[in-house]
Amino acid sequence: MIGIVTGASSGIGAEFCRALDSKGLECIWLIARRADRLEEISQSLHTPCRVITADLSTPEGIRTVTRAVEDEHPDISFLINCAGFGRFGKTWEVPSEDTSSMISVNVSALVEITRACIPFMRGGSSIIEVCSASAYMPLPELNVYSATKAFVRSFCEALRIELKGTGISVLEVSPGWVETDFIQLSVSGERVPEKVFKHTVTREAVVAQAMDNLRKGRRRSVCGSYNRLQVFVCRHLPSIAMRVWNASLR
């Protein structure tokens, strides 16, 4: 039995690797671009690891992962799709290559890797798709990012129904702001007010809560009471949520 984690080189993905370390797996596949960081994580775990260096913004990078799964027929206990990134800025100001990479990593890679893994999963195994609280509301200045996460949210909902009766669970993990490199990388030169990043939680809290919710058979994991309230408001009072977001940008 193995675990597969994309975005394993830092932040939430690296924390998920630590959470899988106690699951008695034969191997954890660690996937991202930075081989040195993946090696470091691999050395820190007790479980044997396989480092797969792949740029998931490219079709070749995605194929590196899907081909490894299809050729080797591993018995997959956990699939955790965590690779992803965002970019602040108005839709037409974000460089087009960043926009298409965002769609590839956040959406195409997640879908392709999930579809490649499902035939090699059985009852009791789990798919964790790392989504975002931004999936619950269109976000001006993070438009494409929030749209990719709205896709992931929708994908999880329907996949869960498709997998009914197989014993394979699907957990959507939708954090608000988390203390990782993500925030710095997403700002990338834009002037974003500090107050946007209020109510930041730790990666440890996000992953501990996700693993707890997985055990309880929940469909969604949102870490922190402020973020749970935010998701609730976005779902039921979207115009208020939009006003709060727009005010925070000013």
Ligand X SMILES: NC(=O)c1ccc[n+]([C@@H]2O[C@H](COP(=O)([O-])OP(=O)(O)OC[C@H]3O[C@@H](n4cnc5c(N)ncnc54)[C@H](OP(=O)(O)O)[C@@H]3O)[C@@H](O)[C@H]2O)c1
Residues from 201 through 220 that contact ligand X (CB under 6 A) = none
- Residue 160 in contact with ligand X, rule: CB under 6 A: no
- Residue 171 in contact with ligand X, rule: CB under 6 A: no
CB of 106 to ligand X, least distance (A): 6
- Residue 180 in contact with ligand X, rule: CB under 6 A: yes
Find the binder of ligand X among 1, 18, 21, 33 (CB under 6 A). Answer: 33
CB of 122 to ligand X, least distance (A): 26
Find the binder of ligand X among 37, 63, 218, 228 (CB under 6 A). Answer: 37
Q: How far is CA 133 from CA 36, 82, 141, 171, 173, in A?
A: 30, 14, 15, 14, 9
> Considering only 16-24, 30-38, 211-219, 220-228, which stretch makes contact with ligand X by CB under 6 A?
30-38
Find the binder of ligand X among 117, 182, 207, 209 (CB under 6 A). Answer: 182
Angle, helices 110-117/59-72, rounded to nearest 10 degrees: 10
DSSP string over 4-73: EEESTTSHHHHHHHHHHTTS--SEEEEEES-HHHHHHHHHH-SS-EEEEE--TTSHHHHHHHHHHHHHH-
Buried b (16+ CB within 10 A) or exposed e, 54-70: bbbbeeebbebbbebbe
Interface contacts to ligand X, rule CB under 6 A: 7-13, 32-34, 37, 55-57, 61, 82-86, 105, 130, 132, 175, 177-178, 180-183, 185
